[in-house]
Amino acid sequence: MITQLNGKLVEKNPTELVVDCNGVGYEVKISLTTFTSLGNEEAVKIFTKLIVREDAHILYGFATKEEREMFTYLISVSGIGPNIAMIMLSSLIPEEIAHAIQTEDVQTIQSIKGIGAKTAQRVIIDLKGKVMKIAERSENMFSANNTNRFDALTALVSLGFDKKAAEKALDRVDSGSDPLEKLIKEALKVL
């Protein structure tokens, strides 16, 4: 089993990348979340999950262990394959998915392309107890004090800024009490 790659980023596209590890190029399928968090670094460390099918061996890559863990949980649910799991991880970050599962927020899960009402309910039923670790790690993220910061980060990433750079910019300008619009404007000045 290949669980991580540490090497040189050769090629980067929104859905896949190629990592050169000592002369061997590995094609890795990635989510948009991973794509935005990687930035333009040349040396990368990617956490991976190898899926072996009858007709192919496909390597899926993630920027964080939490994202890989959520992927593993999602593909364990009947009706969710690797492609749907990657769509889910491209639409929401692992902490958002875990929060939606813990709070039984069917609408958030159902809002993802390819997920119907029955599948959303199955995800919640099958994973509610399993994603507690991810949800606990992210409980600060969803507190009332961090809502503006989270929304600002989401807005900056959707505008095309690197997630790490956006987080650094928010660290510099966030006083903890600024309204969302001001927080985004101040972060844009820093970026």
Domains of the chain: 4-62 (2.40.50.140), 65-139 (1.10.150.20), 143-190 (1.10.8)
For residue 64, the 8-state DSSP code is S
Name the residue among 107, 148, 146 with its Cα closest to residue 124: 107
Residue 172: exposed, middle, or buried by beta-carbon count in 10 A (0-12, 13-18, 19+)? exposed
Name the residue among 136, 23, 115, 117 with its Cα closest to residue 69: 136
Which tokens belong to 117?
A: 């009402």
Strands 57-62 and 24-30: parallel
Residue type, 142: F
Contact 11, 18 (CB under 8 A): yes
In tens digits, what is the pLDDT along the chain, a chain of 191 residues? 899 999 999 999 989 999 999 999 999 999 998 998 887 778 999 999 999 999 999 999 999 999 999 999 999 999 999 999 999 999 888 888 998 898 899 999 999 988 999 999 999 999 988 887 676 655 544 444 456 777 788 778 777 777 778 888 888 888 777 787 788 888 888 88
pTM above 0.85, yes or no: no
102: Cα separation from own chain's centroid:
17
**What is the predicted pLDDT for the residue at 88?**
94
To 10 degrees, what angle do helices 94-102 and 82-91 make? 100
- Please report, for residues 28, 91, 156, 170, the alpha-carbon distance to residue 151 in angstroms, rounded to integers and kept in the order given: 29, 14, 9, 11
